[in-house]
Amino acid sequence: MTDTDHLTADDAARARHTADRFREVYGAAPAGVWAAPGRVNLIGEHTDYNDGFVMPLALPHTTLAAAAPRTDGVLRVHSGDGSGGGQTVELRLDALRPAADGGWAGYPAGVAWALRDAGLPVGGADLHYESTVPVGAGLSSSAALEVATALALDDLYGLGLTRQRLAQLAQRAENAFVGVPCGIMDQTAAACCTDGHALFLDTRDLAQRQVPFDLAGEGLRLLVVDTRVKHELGDGAYAQRRAMCERGARALGVHALRDVPYAHLPEALDKLAATDEEPGGGKGDGGPGTAAVVRHVVTENRRVEEVIARLDAGEARAIGPLLTAGHASLRDDFRVSCAELDLAVEAAGAAGALGARMTGGGFGGSAIVLVEETDADAVAVRITEAFAAAGHTAPRIFPAVPSAGARRLV
Ligand code: GAF
């Protein structure tokens, strides 16, 4: 294997392991090993499909892809976590069709399909994956898988894609091939985040800014609380929220909810109250009304701008209340939280955290908690105790260290 001196000991060991497993599965050495991370979103939830603002950061948890090119137009994928029963999935590139229910293999197959559909000269490949990104925890394991695949194919076939283009093609794979109508945040986070920063992304023009987020230097810690409630984006509720946002934009006569300025929110809500089929919000099925959905998106975009202003002013502690306000909006207006996420946020607050919120799509998954470093252990214990008292499965709690985006390891 090529030189690993430039890698951390952990990355070097995992790259070696992934290459070794590739050799066992395919009987030859890979051409390289690529990595892409999971993410948490600091603020800006359900804004990316409304042309709004988001602010994710990459986790140290990564999906590794060991890969080698093939000359026969065949794609073979194999996962080390036992997905697909540990079987190698073999597909012909020219036979790939969107929305074929390919299970986990649909993600890498979708990426190959999206690259080829964009006219890029991508041939066959053998791929083996090893991942430390928790699956179903709302930490973007799918985007990590897609972006690791896209970066590997980009290098193997000398495509020269920019990181943002790579993210867009990975999103296309998920939207058009797998059939999940996600926005652009997760793939961009996996492709473009950098060590020690949160990524401010304007999802309308895709302008990016790396915002320094030196938690350790400030004596702070950001905890991830994985509630162990499986979050599933494909279950329809995500698509339903997205459709409601589009309906709200249409009712207000704007291209996207991004176009409703915060200062004009009261008028927008008045207009919706006059036209909404269910004024006052609250549909029979427990879902939100249009006005509530609009209020969430408009106030959430505003919270992203305020978080950036506070970080730019060197006031990292002061973002705490904005995180907690974001949670209330997702819980009460957008209605994508659940009992476990609410409990994590509530217990964190009661234990003295600076702020907390659910992160990602919701309906399960993870919360993030901003705490003084010195309080972190005690807050984690209090959250765990609250889960036990409520009879919930014990959460998995670990620090979110702002880490690097996708990269070639060897
Ligand atoms: C999921 C989606 F994949 C993202 O695009 C985003 O919409 C997020 O939910 C909610 O902010 O992670």
Using one digit for the tens of pLDDT, what is the confidence trace for 168-182? 999 999 999 999 999
**pLDDT of 166:** 98
**pLDDT of 279:** 45
Domain that holds residue 112: 4-210+404-408
Same domain flag for 222 and 365: yes
Edge to edge, the sheet with strand 220-226 lists: 355-359, 366-372, 220-226, 396-399
Q: Could you tell me the distance, in angstroms and rounded to a whole number, from the CA of residue 165 to the centre of ligand 1?
A: 18
CA pair distance 228, 364, nearest whole angstrom? 7
Same domain flag for 21 and 71: yes
Q: Could you tell me the distance, in angstroms and rounded to a whole number, from the CA of residue 47 to the centre of ligand 1?
A: 8
Residues 6+ apart with CB under 8 A from 58: 37, 38, 39, 189, 190, 193, 194, 402, 403, 404, 405
Instruction: Using alpha carbons, select from 383, 404, 406, 403 the residue that is nearest to residue 395.
Output: 383
Q: How far is residue 354 from each of residues 90, 130, 194, 220, 390, measured CA to CA in Å?
A: 49, 35, 24, 10, 23
113 Cβ inside 6 Å of ligand 1 = no
Q: Could you tell me the distance, in angstroms and rounded to a whole number, from the CA of residue 238 to the centre of ligand 1?
A: 8
Confidence class of residue 82 from pLDDT cuts 50, 70 and 90? confident
Around Cβ 250, how many Cβ atoms within 10 Å?
11
**pLDDT of 85:** 80
Same domain flag for 283 and 180: no
Average confidence (pLDDT) over 366-393: 98
Question: How high does pLDDT run on average in the chain?
Answer: 95
Give residue-wise pLDDT tens across range 55-75. Answer: 999 999 999 999 999 999 999
Q: What is the CATH number of the domain that holds 268?
A: 3.30.70.890
Same domain flag for 186 and 231: no
Residue percentage of the chain with pLDDT more than 90: 91
**pLDDT of 235:** 73
**pLDDT of 169:** 98
Average confidence (pLDDT) over 281-305: 86
Confidence class of residue 282 from pLDDT cuts 50, 70 and 90? very low
Same domain flag for 267 and 290: yes
The pLDDT of residue 109 is above 50? yes
What number does the ligand 1 atom closest to the CA of 183 have? 5
The pLDDT of residue 194 is above 70? yes
Same domain flag for 247 and 349: yes
> How many alpha carbons fall within 13 Å on the CB side of residue 171?
20
Q: Which amino acids are annotated as binding site for ATP, given as ranges?
A: 79, 136-142
Same domain flag for 190 and 222: no
Report which residue type is found at 295.
R
| Greater model confidence, 126 or 82 | 126
The pLDDT of residue 203 is above 90? yes
The pLDDT of residue 278 is above 90? no
Residues 30, 22: contact at Cβ < 8 Å? yes
The pLDDT of residue 350 is above 60? yes
Same domain flag for 84 and 222: no
**pLDDT of 275:** 81
Average confidence (pLDDT) over 303-322: 98
Confidence class of residue 320 from pLDDT cuts 50, 70 and 90? very high
Same domain flag for 246 and 360: yes
Ligand 1 pocket test, candidate residues 185, 301, 363, 368, most atoms within 8 A of CB: 185
CA pair distance 10, 403, nearest whole angstrom? 14
Average confidence (pLDDT) over 218-224: 98
CA-based angle 339:249:206, to the nearest 5? 85
Q: Which amino acids are annotated as binding site, given as ranges?
A: 45-48, 79, 136-142, 174, 238
130 Cβ inside 6 Å of ligand 1 = no
Same domain flag for 42 and 131: yes
Same domain flag for 171 and 245: no
126 Cβ inside 6 Å of ligand 1 = no
Q: Could you tell me the distance, in angstroms and rounded to a whole number, from the CA of residue 174 to the centre of ligand 1?
A: 12
Give residue-wise pLDDT tens across range 1-46. Answer: 567 888 999 999 999 999 999 999 999 999 999 999 999 999 999 9
CA pair distance 319, 322, nearest whole angstrom? 5
- Provide ipTM, 2 decimals: 0.99
Q: What is the CATH number of the domain that holds 141?
A: 3.30.230.10
Residues 84, 105: contact at Cβ < 8 Å? yes
Ligand 1 pocket test, candidate residues 39, 141, 186, 330, most atoms within 8 A of CB: 186
The total number of structural domains in the chain stands at 2
38 Cβ inside 6 Å of ligand 1 = no
Q: Which amino acids are annotated as binding site for substrate, given as ranges?
A: 45-48, 238
What number does the ligand 1 atom closest to the CA of 47 have? 11
The pLDDT of residue 210 is above 90? yes
Q: Reduced to 3 states, what is the DSSP secondary structure of residue 282?
A: coil
Residues 222, 368: contact at Cβ < 8 Å? yes
Average confidence (pLDDT) over 348-353: 98
> How many alpha carbons fall within 13 Å on the CB side of residue 33?
28
46 Cβ inside 6 Å of ligand 1 = yes
Assess whether 186 carries a catalytic annotation. yes
CA pair distance 307, 241, nearest whole angstrom? 24
Catalytic residue among 11, 51, 186, 276: 186
183 Cβ inside 6 Å of ligand 1 = yes
pTM: 0.96
Instruction: Please tell me the residue having the least CA distance from ligand 1 atom 8.
Output: 361
**pLDDT of 231:** 77
Average confidence (pLDDT) over 330-336: 98
Average confidence (pLDDT) over 238-266: 97
Concatenating the DSSP letter of every residue in 289-348 gives PHHHHHHHHHHHHHHHHHHHHHHHTT-GGGGHHHHHHHHHIIIIII----HHHHHHHHHH
Same domain flag for 197 and 260: no
Edge to edge, the sheet with strand 53-54 lists: 53-54, 197-202, 208-212
CA pair distance 272, 249, nearest whole angstrom? 10
Confidence class of residue 277 from pLDDT cuts 50, 70 and 90? low
Instruction: Please tell me the residue having the least CA distance from ligand 1 atom 2.
Output: 182
**pLDDT of 84:** 78
| Greater model confidence, 22 or 102 | 22
Q: Could you tell me the distance, in angstroms and rounded to a whole number, from the CA of residue 359 to the centre of ligand 1?
A: 9
Confidence class of residue 299 from pLDDT cuts 50, 70 and 90? very high
**pLDDT of 281:** 45
Q: Could you tell me the distance, in angstroms and rounded to a whole number, from the CA of residue 362 to the centre of ligand 1?
A: 9
